[in-house]
Amino acid sequence: MASELPATAWTVLGLLSFGRELSGYDLKKWADNSLRFFYWSPAASQVYAELRRLEKVGYASSTVARQDDLRNKRVYSITDAGREALQRWLHEPAEPTVLKHPTMLRVWLGHLEGPAALTKVLDGHRADLTEQLDAARHAADHATDDASWGAYPAAVTRWAVRRLESELALLDDLERDLAQPPTRRNRRNK
């Protein structure tokens, strides 16, 4: 059973499932400003590769759209078979969530460094987070106003915003914890 196709193929097919005709270039752009906030954005070359694969198995079809005179691009749309396959995939149990947090790994190795260096690491991370939060807020506002992608993507981008906000809060908690770690005794009882 397994999965029939790699994760990237499903996400690309997912992008197509909103009913638009999109080129590889478009797909990469949409991935960059929606998918990346809760999943990830494949390399451009990978997008093209998956599109060719999807077409080969009949889940997508393409036509060449000439726009001006010599400007050509190949646009893809999802097929009925593709939509069905995607639905089947949705019903399978979700793969485990992946969280790979290099900053926490560095904190975890704090004994090599001491508190001073850690503060620097944490500050850097906080800066990254606020930057991401900003981008996510823009995406969420846009998705909330522009109804054309539907309610679900909008809700998910708002989720992404709240997630980043709570990551920031978690960072503060961590710093407090490092300054004043709980012990067996003073641990609030669960």
Partner DNA sequence: GGGAGCATGTAACGGGTTACATGATTGG
Partner DNA sequence: CCAATCATGTAACCCGTTACATGCTCCC
Tell me which residues in 59-118 interact with DNA (CB under 7 A): 67-71, 73-75
Look up residue 76 and give its two tokens.
């893809």
Q: Using an 8 Å Cβ cutoff, are 76 and 60 in contact?
A: yes
**Could you say which of 4, 123, 124, 130 contacts its own copies (CB under 8 A)?**
124
- Distance between CA 49 and CA 31 in Å, rounded? 15
CB of 22 to DNA, least distance (A): 9
Considering the complex, state which of residue 69 and residue 95 has its C-beta at the smaller distance from its own copies: 95
Which two three-digit tokens encode residue 188? 């609030």
The number of residues that bind its own copies (CB under 8 A) is: 71
Contacts 24+ apart (CB under 8 A), 105-114: 107/174, 107/178, 110/178
3 state SS of 169: helix
Residue numbers 18-57 binding its own copies by CB under 8 A: 18, 34-35, 38-40
Applying CB under 7 A, among 20, 29, 142, 158 the residue interacting with DNA is: 29
Q: Which residues are near DNA by CB under 7 A?
A: 6-9, 23-26, 29, 40-46, 48-49, 51-52, 67-71, 73-75
